[in-house]
Amino acid sequence: MSKDQKAIFLAILTTCIYGFTILLEKGQFLYPFPLNEFIFFAVSIQFAFWNHSSDPAQVIYSVLAAFFFLLSSPYFWTFFMNSQALGQLIESPILDFFHLFFYICLVCWAINSFSLIVGTIKYLWMFLCAAGLCLYPIFGNPLIEVLVFVLLAIIFSLYKLKQPFHLLWVLLAFLFTMKAWVLGVF
């Protein structure tokens, strides 16, 4: 197992152990989904540190996506703002813009990753990816988001596109799936 695979495994294992610890203590599984943004940001920074010379575009897209994902989280801002300022921030469109920039970075990152696929199937995957990532913010259905991230994780894992950054898509798929599961989407 490579160090990149170990980092993803440890991130997933840490969240699961946290949830199962709460299950044993309180009798209810509580997944720490407010920490998803922090986990993805930390792992992306670690991947960027380890692989900064291998593919600069992948490093930039993954770190920017993780940064905007972190900035779009109200939980992140609780460390810097009082409750009144935080309430004003949540009511303003600023967090939505950060979330939009997160999705723009994801689409650019996915399209850059699809550049290795040869033939017309590349354009089909690129279209499905971009359409899926654009449909979630429009309709707001978390199930669409989960399906898109799981599909992307499967595609990037099967094709082994832009190794080891394809593992970050697996982490995103896991984080969004667990968040949707805890929120009762399935």
The mean pLDDT value of the chain amounts to: 86
Could you tell me if residue 47 is inside a domain?
A: yes
Could you tell me if residue 52 is inside a domain?
A: yes
Rounded to the nearest 5°, which phi and psi values hold at 117? -75, 135
Could you tell me if residue 153 is inside a domain?
A: yes
pLDDT the model gives residue 97: 93
Could you tell me if residue 1 is inside a domain?
A: no
Could you tell me if residue 20 is inside a domain?
A: no
Q: How confident is the model at residue 117 (pLDDT cuts 50, 70, 90)?
A: low
pLDDT tens-digit map of 31-66 = 887 889 999 999 999 999 998 888 888 899 999 999
**Contact between 149 and 156 (Cβ < 8 Å):** no
Cα of first residue to Cα of last residue in the chain, in angstroms, is 32
pLDDT the model gives residue 120: 67
pLDDT the model gives residue 175: 93
User: Structural domain tally of the chain?
Assistant: 1
Beta carbons within 10 angstroms of residue 131's beta carbon = 11
pLDDT tens-digit map of 148-186 = 889 888 888 887 767 888 899 999 999 999 988 888 776
pLDDT tens-digit map of 65-94 = 999 999 999 999 999 989 999 899 999 999
Tell which residue, 147, 185, 178, 177, has the closest CA to residue 18: 178
Could you tell me if residue 174 is inside a domain?
A: yes
Could you tell me if residue 19 is inside a domain?
A: no
pLDDT the model gives residue 119: 67
Name the residue range of residue 115's domain: 36-182
Tell which residue, 15, 74, 77, 3, has the closest CA to residue 40: 15
* Unique residue bearing structure tokens 């697996």: 170
Could you tell me if residue 134 is inside a domain?
A: yes
